[in-house]
Structures are given as structure tokens and as C-alpha cells.
A and B are shown apart, each in its own frame.
Chain A
């Protein structure tokens, strides 16, 4: 009997509206996948483009969440890894005429190495100091990308144009094709992250987050795991950057400022720490929240361009609100809701 299996999660025996929890999760997953596949055929091309962008952000937020949510290290510098991935792809496509689908993995690998190397010193930089070092990285990145001696590769201030791939499948237009391309890559990455955090490595990551001293007493090589986590996090964010370059059809230094890192942080905090679905919620939030608040603001201020700045004020206030009221983000809120509604069988 399942209930006597010592490995079984006791929460799995609970019922939500009379349905067993594992089944609830399965239904959510199936509905989610069905929506992800059917939606692009029902909405406009622009909406498909936005959904693609959501997926790109979600991958980047997932990368940051692996680092912060599961391993307890802070980064304000993930815009730099995103930029590194985006430029790797753009340079490979533009300068070396490599097909776009061959550039995604190399971009990820370059960022894995970049992340690992930046993570190595991170062994000595506890918490706050790491935040400071990554803050410096994010602030310095645009200037580095503009640097004239790299201009041959990076295109300097101008950046690089990337052309949107044509759809090889008849029945899908270019936007829809790109969406499914990003969706497949994203799904693979989510699967990878899910396996990673449930396995030995994931347990080590979480142990280091919760109590580094106890973790090292248990024989976990904390320095190695911290660096590897930084590398994996860079890998995810780099791939997001690579996909983002193809989706935006353009890379330029000013797209990768410190404020991009802030976006990822916002997405992670609002979605919720240490949760994979939360990354998708975070991606949705950072794409649609500015649009929605822009509409609300234009109701009050008309088309005054400086009123757009109020979006960021709203973002900031929302962040503070989140930290105060829902510190576990949307994922925590849903978990709480389920815990309230779920009933023990027979109760």
C-alpha cells in the first residue's frame, strides 16, 4: 500500500476538492502544456511574440532562482550573463554565419564557464559581498560592450542585428515557429532543472543554502557546489540571452544595463523562491506588468512620456509590498491556498 511506503510524501495522500494531490499536479501540468501548445494559434502575432518573450524571461529567472532560491547566493549581475549569451549568439550568427540553432548551446556553455569563473571567487565572497561584486559586474557590463577595441566583434555602440529565422514548417508563421522553438528549449531546461534540484546535487545545493557549516560537516564540498551552481545559473541565463537575441532580432549595449538584472530579481521575488513554476509566473509578471501599468497610468496622465517613469515607481512599490506581505511570492501564496483547502482523506 502506498501509504506504508516510507518514501511517500504524506502530503500526497491529501485531497483537493476530492481529487488526490498527485492527480491535481498532473492535471495542472497537462492543462498548462495544452495551453502552451494551443494558445499561439488563437492569438495575434504580436501576442505570440510577447509569449515568446515571457518564456525567455522565465528561463533567465529560472537561472537566477537556481542560484538564489536553491543555493542561497545573491546576484545582481545576471544581466551580464544574459548579455554574454546574447552576444555569443549574435556574433556567431552575424560574423561567422552559423545557423541560429547551433548557437544556443555554445552560448550556454560560454556562460557556464563565465559563471563558474565568477563563482570561484564567490567562495570567498559571502552573501552580501557577492551581491556587491555582481552589482559591480552589472554596472560595468554596458561600458565593456561599448569598448572600442572589441568593436570588431561587438559592433560597439551600434550593436549587432540578428535576423529572425524563417519557419521551416508550413502552417506555422515565423513568430509561431520561434515560439515553439523557444518552448522546446525552455521545456528541456525546465526538465533539467527539475531533475537537478530533486537529485543528489540539488540536495547538496539546498543543504548549503540552509546551513553551510552543517553541509560541509556532512561531507559536501561547498566550494565546488557553489561554483557549479553559479555556472549552471549562468548557463540558464546565457541560453535565455541567446534566445532573447534571436527574438529581439538585435543586441546593443544599452539593452543590458543594471536594470535588466533588477527585472530578473523582480521576477524571481514576485514568482517565489525555490520553485520552478514560479519562474514562469515571474516571466509573465515582468513582461505584462509594465504593459498593464502603462495602460493604467495613461488613463490618468494621457500620453505624457515622463509619466511612463511611474511604471518603475509602481514596480518598486510592488516589490516592497511583496517583501512585506507575501515574502514567498506567488508560489508561496498558492502553496498556502492549497494547504488551506486540501483535506485529509476521510476527514
Chain B
């Protein structure tokens, strides 16, 4: 039973990472109807920037905040410079650009910081404030930070005028523009926020998997799986899906398939959900008119 609880709680910690990435993916999907295949590499790049700042002697939380600011601006720039001009281009063009960005971020990180693995510090104390053998201090901190961030994002979208405008721009761009919302600015803002959420995920997972340019590929796959399970039209669902994937990954790894087929597990989940319940657990069923 202890093993089961341990694996579940540990799964919640990685699930928090998947939930963040799933949320980032869904935010961009809501805004431009495309999957950001470069989300993982963007997060990895942000994490490298934080690592560099810390290596230059900056305290962790200062580096954390500067990295978030940088990610926000970077995300907005990517939207404005690369995606705004091809807004109406065919799907393939978008996929190709996302793949190109993946290549660029991956290789650029390798060029600047080389491909050897690096230790990334955990900001949390070595000991929990209470006695527990079930969850480590870093895992506890990750879940805490993620929940705080998700809470802030919820409050932002639910209770601020900008959040409302962003939701309007994603739900119905034409009507939103008619009531005076700058849809373009909202798109940029969405990209910036998604990059920030991804950067937090990257900085939280890096102490566990070590920092290197290829660290996010498998994690992004789980993020996608979380988004698909929860429903691509539902940000809240994507978060739940991410946590669910973290727990399922650990339990399946412990009791069924072993640790060597974790990526295959994500593949099976993605294909199965898309086949049998394409809207996911919480998504809206999209009806196409012919």
C-alpha cells in the first residue's frame, strides 16, 4: 500500500509538470487551432536561460522571475514575428514552422550550452516541514508551485478584464474584434503566457531529469497526452488530464509495463483517446457543418 501511495504522490508531482505543459499546449490550441510541437523545446530553452543566470551567481528566485519575463517576451515575439504573417496559411505550413522552431531551439541550446547534461538546482529545502516517507521535498514543492500558478492563471482568466478579453478573442475572434478587443494583441499575450507556463514546467522538471537540449521531448509527449485526455477545448480539463497522466504513468510503470515502455504508453493513450473519445474527458464535442 505504501508503494501504491508513494507512486501516486510521485505521479502527482510529474503530473504537475505534464499539467503545465498540457495547459500551455491548450492555450495555444485555443488561440490559433494548432498544436505547438515546439512547446517543449521553448520550455527547455527558458530553463537553460535560468541555469545560465544561476551559474552567473544570481539567487534562484531572481533567476526564476527574470527567466519568466524573458519567456513571456520571447513567446510574444515568436507569435508576432513568425506566426502572425502566416495566420491564414495551410495546416502543413504551420506544422513545418513548429518543427523548424523545435530544431532551432534544440540546436541553439546545444550550440550555446553544449549537449552534456547539467545539474539544475531545486529551490526547495532538503527537508519537509512534516515527517513523511511518501513524498520528497522537491516533489512537494513542485505540486505546490504548480497549484499556485494554476490558481493565478484561473483568477486571471476568470476575474480580470484582460483575461475576459483573451477568452473572447479565442472563442470568437470576429465578434471580439467588433466589440473593440485587439485580437492580435490577445494572441501575442496568449503565446507569452503559454511560454511562461512552459518555462515553469521546465524549471520544475530539470532537477529530476537533468538539463540537456533533448530533455523535453518525452515530457512534451506526456503533456500532449494530458491535453488530449482532458480535452483540447478545455484548459481545466487539460490540467486534470496532465495530473492523471502523471499518476497513470507511475502506476503503469510500477505494476504493468515497467519503466522501459513509458513513451509507448503515452502513444497508446493518445491514439486510444483520439479514437474512442476525441473530445477528451471534459472537452466540447465539435460538430462540423457540411
**Which A residues are closer than 8 A to B by beta carbons?**
68, 74, 76, 121, 124-125, 127-129, 131-133, 135-137, 139-140, 143-144, 146-148, 213, 258-259, 262, 265, 269, 273, 306-307, 309-313, 315-317, 319-320, 322-324, 327
Contacts and interface: CB of A to CB of B under 8 A. Distances in A.
B218 A125 contact: no
A136 B271 CA distance: 9
Given A74-B95, A128-B34, A306-B110, A143 B103 contact: no
A258 to B, nearest CB: 7
A317 B114 CA distance: 20
Contact of A133 (B92, B264, B271): B271
Interface stretch (B50-58, B82-90, B127-135, B166-174): B82-90
A312 B86 contact: no
B273 to A, nearest CB: 10
A76 B103 CA distance: 14
Nearest to B104: A316
Question: Which secondary structure dominates chain B's binding surface?
Answer: helix
The 8 A-B pairs at the shortest CB distance, nearest first, are namely A312-B107, A316-B104, A316-B103, A319-B100, A309-B110, A140-B263, A309-B111, A136-B267
Interface in B249-286: 260-264, 266-267, 270-271, 274-275, 278
Contact of A327 (B93, B99, B224, B263): B93
Contact of A313 (B85, B103, B114, B218): B103
Interface of B: 33-35, 37, 82, 85-86, 89, 91-93, 95-97, 99-104, 106-108, 110-111, 114-115, 217-218, 221, 224-225, 228, 260-264, 266-267, 270-271, 274-275, 278, 290
Contacts of B106: 312
Contacts of A320: 82, 97, 100
B111 A140 contact: no
A148 B257 CA distance: 12
Given A125-B274, A140-B267, A307 B92 contact: no
Nearest to B25: A132
B224 A147 contact: no
Given A129-B274, A135-B37, A312 B103 contact: yes
